[in-house]
Amino acid sequence: MELKQVIIAYKARDPQSKRWAEICASQLEHRKCHVLMGPSGPKDNPYPVFLASATQQIDLAIVLGGDGTVLTGARHLAQAGVPILAVNVGGHLGFLTESVEEFQDTESVWDRLLEDRYAVQRRMMLQAAVYEGQGSDLEPITENYLALNEMCIKPASADRMITSILEMEIDNEVVDQYQGDGLVISTPTGSTGYTVSANGPIMHDGMEAITITPICPMSLSSRPIVLPPGSVVSVWPLGDFDLSTKLWTDGVLATSIWPGHRIDVRMADYRSKFIILRENYSYYQVLREKLLWAGTRVRYNSKHSAN
């Protein structure tokens, strides 16, 4: 990897994250690297400026924060093909990030990147758009929205909890109608996020598949479904008299959905790319550590020993 132009996004209003960003920028600039740096948060989006200001190819994005900060970076950088080195600074679970311990000796990290001593993990994403019209004669009325974790279709209201009634098609065939709090349409990466909270399955992040998980359905027969990656999931809101149905991408409000609209969700044309520094990276170790499974508490002298 070359390090001629690098962008650094740090968690907004987090002093520790900003301090690490300044250290990284200083070191990289000393190595004759052009650095673009800025905060990322609910009210701060540096990526349009980064991409518009880049005078040459962006070799790397360093994202310092938690999973939310990383998800924002992935949505904006996937289309440009920029690899992300994500470090958990000021975050919580950190499913998508390298631990800050792996990042303590930053000078050695730059050496490893320059010497290509790292792995690249490509993760499937979802894209969604809203359509309007009758029958098969539908026209898109929004841009394509990207998500690394999930697309969520659910109502939002400031004054009461609203029951959502949604009809779902898969590849133009009506499958079910859901009455409850909404639907989560997830990637394998997102299966350990909102999906697992809604009692959906955990999928290995090396897979390509789409999971549909009802949120608090009123019917016990409404169950999660796992689909092949080429499937197209279409959702129609029904009975939305308050015009409250919304499309959320990775927990961020994307757009409102009006009566007669349809949302199509499918595998995205782009994949996010993550730099892996850990030499013995294990997805199952991540699950044990982040979800506090028994494997984090039970220790044996050898793999199969009962002693």
User: Alpha-carbon Rg of the chain, whole angstroms?
Assistant: 21
Q: Which residue from 108, 57, 105, 101 is spatially nearest to 83, judged by alpha carbons? A: 57
Place of tokens 């690297």: 33
Q: 58 with 26: CB under 8 angstroms?
A: no
Q: 151 with 255: CB under 8 angstroms?
A: no
Distance CA 187, CA 267 (A): 9
Kindly name the residue from 14, 67, 176, 181 that is annotated as catalytic. Answer: 67
Annotated catalytic, 137?
A: no
Assign residue 32 a region (left: φ > 0; alpha: ψ between -120 and 50; beta: otherwise). left
Among all residues, which ones are annotated catalytic? 67
